[in-house]
């Protein structure tokens, strides 16, 4: 009871503030939706008892039920809002078929917490203006009721729009390479529409909809993860993870790879929960990563840093938040979204570590503009030093190992190896490149061939089945890497271990070109514990319309498996060329320690 009283006064104060704001902005008619949302949330939240600490779900549900059904024990404003809740509840429930009480409650909790904290702050700030409250409260209630009705209508309309949009996206999947640009734009448009819908839904209070289901339900709405940076995201994240793995399992029948990250097909992409707070560059990057438009560890790292730079530049700091913390939280949200779409590579992880380190290094009361400038400069410097100049240094180091008349074998596609070979050729060394690729996704050999030929490097091409045949005449093998692990194992595209084995069988030295920013703290000894599964359809011969595998999904016993990475043990690698030095593979931990000290970790 007492708490209710407290809340009463707080509510009144709150309501007064909000009413003021509302009237102002209504007059201006600008971003009305946003403000209304906050208003509604506040009034609603304040009507429900709860602790500041972790709340029992059931308790809450009870409370909600009581508040909805009995409509008692509420202060005047809250009563109004409770009634409003009722109305809105009913209004919002109609078009929706699926309701998950759990989720609703969780979302409610979060929204409540946010509102509560905001309320606290508001109270602290404007403690002295309590007298205006009652009048404002009156106004607020009426306004609120009206706006709520409007919003309910808007919500319904948006619902229909979303359904239509999703119906469009239900078209048959096309080959992603052909349609990547198109689908990206389409997806972005869809996402925008969904964001709008979500905002509307949130204003209509807390009738959040279902978590993305494995089967596409045309009527299902998107879940909005109502995050303010300080929220506790664990329960929400868990539910999403669960459905993620469920989906992977249903498509991936190779049970030893259950734990691995599965490349999502188009359907899943349309159902990803997104936060309206995410910067569009991040969203775009997420789609690009998921559809493998951006691939290759250097490219992914640069793309990530680019997007983060944009995000930093356009980051708007909420009031009374320290820049560092605010940015860190926004960063966390963005990264969570990205990693859900595609696992981070070691280069991306290190880049993020670097950025976080610099964020923490910002002085306490730094000016926002200065901070942003510093961070952007740091990012630029990172890209320039760690990727560009490192590549240059490696290229020079390797050039001494290539002599005239050599046959250099390379496997798969690596921007660094391409740079090495291109610059060696331009520098006058007359060698021959033997490019080995594999059919299906794992190869990339064909891409490498194209790039090298564009620079007039003489090439021979062979499929991976011809590896031992061509190895007879090869002098050296140079490959790129995705990551170098602490125990000395090299993570690279699937098939690299095969090339290293064949080279060892003929005593051909194997060089791995790897910048230090790809050194990772992980350890693994086989290709199973940590890997990615690519699109299984890539194994199927596209040119053949009668491929025996085309109906593999209907056959429970048949699964194509397309692994993305494999690991090569250090015994098969002669040397690792980094920008610091040419090292034996086993010296990776030394370099890593050196690097980590740079980050102050």
Partner 1 sequence: MKKEEVQDIFLKILREEEDVSAGVAAIKTLLTVIENYEVTTVRELDFNLQLAVDAMRNCDQPVTAISSGCELFMRFITFAKLDLRSFEECEQIMLQRGRIFLDTLLEARGKVAKQTLPFISDGCKILTHSRSRVVLQAMVEAARANKRFEVFVTMSCPDNSGELMHKQLVAAGIDATLILDSAVGYIMEQIDIVMVGAEGVTESGGIINKVGTYGLGIAALELKKPVYVLTESFKFSRIYPLNQRDLPKEFKYLSSVLKSGKDLAKQHPLVDYTPPAYITLLFTDLGILTPSAVSDELIKLYL
Partner 2 sequence: MPPLGSPSKELDLKHEEKIVQFVSNVRNGKIDGSNNIALKMLLLLEQIISECENATALELSGLVREVGRRVCRALPQELVAANMVRRVLRAIRDEHRAVSDQNGGSAEGATESLQRLVLAAAARRGTLGSAQQDLREPLRDHIAEVRAEIESGCGAVAAMATAHVHAAELILTHGSSRLVERFLKAARKHTHYRLLLAEGPDVKESHGMALRLSLLGIPVTVISDASIAAVMSRVNKVVIGVRAVLAGGALLARAGTHALTIAAKHYSVPVIALCPLYKLSPLHACDHYGFNALDNPRTSLSYEFSESGDVHVEAPRYDLVPPDHVTLFLTNLGGSSPSYIYRLLSELYDPNDHQL
Contact residues for partner 2, defined by CB under 8 A:
253-254, 256, 438-443, 446, 449-450, 453, 459-470, 493-495, 497-498, 501-502, 505, 526-528, 531, 539-541, 543-544, 547-549, 555, 557-563, 565-567
Cα separation, 110 vs 102, in Å, equals 12
**Residues 6 or more apart from 366 whose CB is under 8 A from it?**
323, 324
Smallest distance, partner 2 to C-beta of residue 566, A = 4
507 is a contact residue toward partner 1 (CB under 8 A): yes
> Which one of partner 1, partner 2, none interacts with residue 507, CB within 5 to 8 A by kind?
partner 1
> Which one of partner 1, partner 2, none interacts with residue 423, CB within 5 to 8 A by kind?
none
Smallest distance, partner 1 to C-beta of residue 572, A = 14
Cα separation, 242 vs 221, in Å, equals 18
Smaller CB separation from partner 1, 508 or 539: 508
529 is a contact residue toward partner 1 (CB under 8 A): no
> Which one of partner 2, partner 1, none interacts with residue 450, CB within 5 to 8 A by kind?
partner 2
Please provide the size of the chain in residues: 601
Query: Helix, strand, or coil here: 39?
Result: helix
Smaller CB separation from partner 1, 320 or 472: 472
> Which one of partner 1, partner 2, none interacts with residue 75, CB within 5 to 8 A by kind?
none
> Which one of partner 2, partner 1, none interacts with residue 228, CB within 5 to 8 A by kind?
none
523 is a contact residue toward partner 1 (CB under 8 A): no
> Which one of partner 2, partner 1, none interacts with residue 488, CB within 5 to 8 A by kind?
none
505 is a contact residue toward partner 1 (CB under 8 A): yes
Smaller CB separation from partner 1, 213 or 468: 468
Smallest distance, partner 1 to C-beta of residue 439, A = 29
Q: 194, 161, 221, 202: which is closest to 36 by C-alpha?
A: 202
> Which one of partner 1, partner 2, none interacts with residue 373, CB within 5 to 8 A by kind?
none
Cα separation, 452 vs 127, in Å, equals 70
Smaller CB separation from partner 2, 503 or 577: 503
> Which one of partner 2, partner 1, none interacts with residue 396, CB within 5 to 8 A by kind?
none
Cα separation, 250 vs 268, in Å, equals 13
Smallest distance, partner 2 to C-beta of residue 295, A = 15
Smallest distance, partner 1 to C-beta of residue 505, A = 7
Smallest distance, partner 2 to C-beta of residue 461, A = 5
Smallest distance, partner 2 to C-beta of residue 445, A = 9
Which class for 184: exposed (0-12), middle (13-18), buried (19 or more C-beta within 10 A)? Answer: middle
Tell me how many degrees the CA angle 181-186-191 measures, rounded to the nearest 5. 125
Smaller CB separation from partner 2, 185 or 254: 254
Smallest distance, partner 2 to C-beta of residue 517, A = 25
Smallest distance, partner 2 to C-beta of residue 346, A = 18
Smallest distance, partner 2 to C-beta of residue 175, A = 15
Distances (CA, A) of 123 to 13, 35, 45: 7, 17, 15
> Which one of partner 1, partner 2, none interacts with residue 462, CB within 5 to 8 A by kind?
partner 2
User: Which token pair is 227?
Assistant: 């995050």
473 is a contact residue toward partner 1 (CB under 8 A): no
Query: Helix, strand, or coil here: 533?
Result: strand
Smaller CB separation from partner 1, 88 or 508: 508
Smaller CB separation from partner 1, 124 or 472: 472
Helix 234-251 with 323-341: angle, nearest 10 deg? 20
> Which one of partner 2, partner 1, none interacts with residue 468, CB within 5 to 8 A by kind?
partner 2
Asked if 204 contacts 148 with a C-beta cutoff of 8 angstroms, the reply is yes
Q: What would the DSSP string read from start to end of 142-180?
A: HHHHHHHHHHHHHHHHHHHHHHHHHHHHTSPP--HHHHH
Position among 430, 506, 550, 553 found at the interface with partner 1 (CB under 8 A): 506
The conformational region for residue 222 under phi > 0 = left, psi -120 to 50 = alpha, else beta, is: beta
What count of Cα atoms within 13 Å lies in the side-chain half-sphere of residue 404?
Answer: 4
What count of Cα atoms within 13 Å lies in the side-chain half-sphere of residue 438?
Answer: 21
- Interface with partner 1: number of residues (CB under 8 A): 3
Judged by CB under 8 A, the stretch of 175-183, 267-275, 307-315, 503-511 that binds partner 1 is 503-511
Distances (CA, A) of 104 to 109, 112, 236, 540: 9, 12, 11, 43
Q: 592, 573, 443, 469: which is closest to 522 by C-alpha?
A: 592
Q: What's the chain's Rg over C-alpha atoms?
A: 28
Task: State the residues that interact with partner 1 by CB under 8 A.
Answer: 505-507
């Amino acid at each position: 009871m007492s708490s209710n009283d407290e809340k009463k006064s707080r509510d009144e104060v709150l309501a007064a503030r909000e009413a003021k704001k509302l009237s102002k902005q209504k007059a201006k008619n600008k971003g009305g939706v946003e403000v209304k949302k906050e208003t509604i949330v506040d009034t609603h939240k304040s009507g429900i008892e709860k602790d500041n600490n972790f709340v029992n779900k059931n308790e809450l549900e009870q409370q909600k039920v009581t508040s909805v059904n009995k409509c008692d024990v509420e202060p005047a404003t809250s009563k109004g809002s409770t009634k409003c809740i009722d109305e809105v509840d009913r209004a919002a429930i109609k078009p929706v078929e699926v309701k998950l009480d759990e989720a609703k409650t969780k979302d409610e909790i979060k929204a409540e917490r946010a509102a509560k904290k905001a309320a606290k702050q508001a109270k602290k700030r404007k403690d002295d203006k309590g007298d205006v409250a009652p009048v404002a409260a009156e106004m607020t209630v009426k306004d609120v009721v009206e706006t709520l009705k409007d919003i309910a209508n808007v919500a319904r309309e948006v619902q229909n729009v979303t359904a239509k949009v999703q119906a469009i996206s239900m078209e048959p999947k096309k080959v992603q390479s052909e349609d990547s640009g198109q689908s990206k734009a389409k997806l972005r448009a869809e996402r925008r529409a969904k964001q709008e819908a979500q905002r509307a839904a949130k204003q209509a209070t807390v009738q959040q909809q279902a978590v993305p289901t494995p089967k596409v339900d045309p009527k299902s709405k998107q879940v909005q993860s109502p995050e303010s940076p300080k929220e506790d995201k664990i329960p929400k994240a868990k539910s999403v993870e669960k459905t993620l793995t469920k989906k992977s399992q249903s498509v991936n029948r190779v049970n030893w790879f259950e734990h691995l990250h599965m490349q999502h097909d188009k359907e899943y992409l349309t159902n990803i929960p997104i936060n309206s707070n995410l910067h569009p560059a991040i969203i775009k990057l997420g789609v690009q990563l998921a559809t493998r438009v951006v691939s290759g560890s250097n490219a992914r790292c640069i793309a990530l840093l680019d997007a983060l730079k944009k995000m930093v530049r356009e980051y708007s700091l909420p009031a009374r938040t320290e820049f560092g913390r605010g940015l860190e939280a926004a960063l966390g949200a963005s990264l969570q979204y990205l990693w859900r779409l595609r696992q981070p590579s070691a280069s991306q992880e290190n880049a993020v570590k670097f950025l976080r380190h610099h964020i923490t290094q910002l002085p306490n009361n730094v000016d926002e503009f200065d901070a942003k400038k510093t961070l952007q400069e740091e990012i630029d410097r990172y890209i320039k030093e760690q990727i560009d100049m490192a590549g240059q240094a490696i290229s020079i180091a390797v050039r001494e190992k290539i002599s005239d008349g050599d046959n250099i074998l390379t496997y798969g596609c690596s921007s660094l190896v391409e740079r090495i070979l291109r610059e060696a050729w331009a520098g006058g060394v007359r060698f021959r490149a033997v490019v080995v690729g594999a059919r299906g996704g794992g190869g990339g050999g064909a891409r490498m061939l194209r790039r090298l030929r564009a620079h007039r490097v003489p090439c021979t091409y062979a499929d991976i089945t011809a590896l031992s045949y061509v190895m007879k005449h090869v002098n050296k093998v140079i490959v790129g890497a995705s990551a170098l692990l602490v125990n000395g194992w090299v993570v690279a595209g699937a098939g690299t271990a095969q090339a290293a084995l064949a080279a060892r069988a003929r005593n051909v030295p194997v060089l791995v070109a790897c910048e230090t920013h790809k050194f990772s703290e992980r350890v693994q000894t086989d290709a199973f514990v940590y890997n990615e599964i690519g699109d299984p359809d890539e194994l199927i011969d596209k040119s053949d319309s009668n491929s025996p595998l085309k109906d593999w999904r209907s056959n429970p016993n048949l699964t194509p498996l397309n692994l993305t990475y494999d690991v090569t043990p250090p015994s098969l690698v002669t040397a690792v060329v980094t920008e610091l030095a040419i090292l034996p593979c086993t010296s990776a931990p030394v370099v890593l320690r050196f690097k980590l000290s740079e980050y102050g970790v």
